[in-house]
Amino acid sequence: MVTARTDGKPVWNRHWFSLTAGPRLLREGNFWISPRKEGFTDPNVMGVAKRSAIGFSESHKTLFFATFTTPITLRQEASIMKSIGCYEAMNLDGGSSTALAYRGKVLVKPRRSLTNVLVVYDASHPAPQPLRTSWHQFQGDEG
């Protein structure tokens, strides 16, 4: 995870995939909540809200997605993400944009049309071949 306003401009050729989100919740296992420093000014981001978050473990082998249907603060969200094993975590859009599906079942339905989604593939449900090929090319191997 890169926090552009504090870390500087990302080196884009090191990133195969990019997601713009925030505010950041955890950095290297520690609470890192500085929405104003990151450029957030919307009172809905600062206050209590329904939220979604993404994070990963210290080993980078486990990816976490969480959807909070009960309104919480950023601090509460960070605390929960840390408690489930996140080493790095980032707040995603919330409110009417909040949605979550798992194995073809919609668990949390959005209250508006969504234009972007994150899809995670695993060994049981592998990515389509063109996507796998693109990943291997980015990594510099034949795949």
CB 67 within 8 A of CB 107: yes
Domain-wise residue ranges, the chain: 4-110
Q: What's this model's pTM, rounded to 2 decimal places? A: 0.82
End-to-end CA distance of the chain: 25
Query: Model confidence over 1-45: pLDDT tens digits?
Result: 888 888 888 888 887 777 888 999 999 999 999 999 999 998 888
- Give the C-alpha separation, 50 to 56, whole Å: 21
Instruction: Give the pLDDT score at 33.
Output: 94
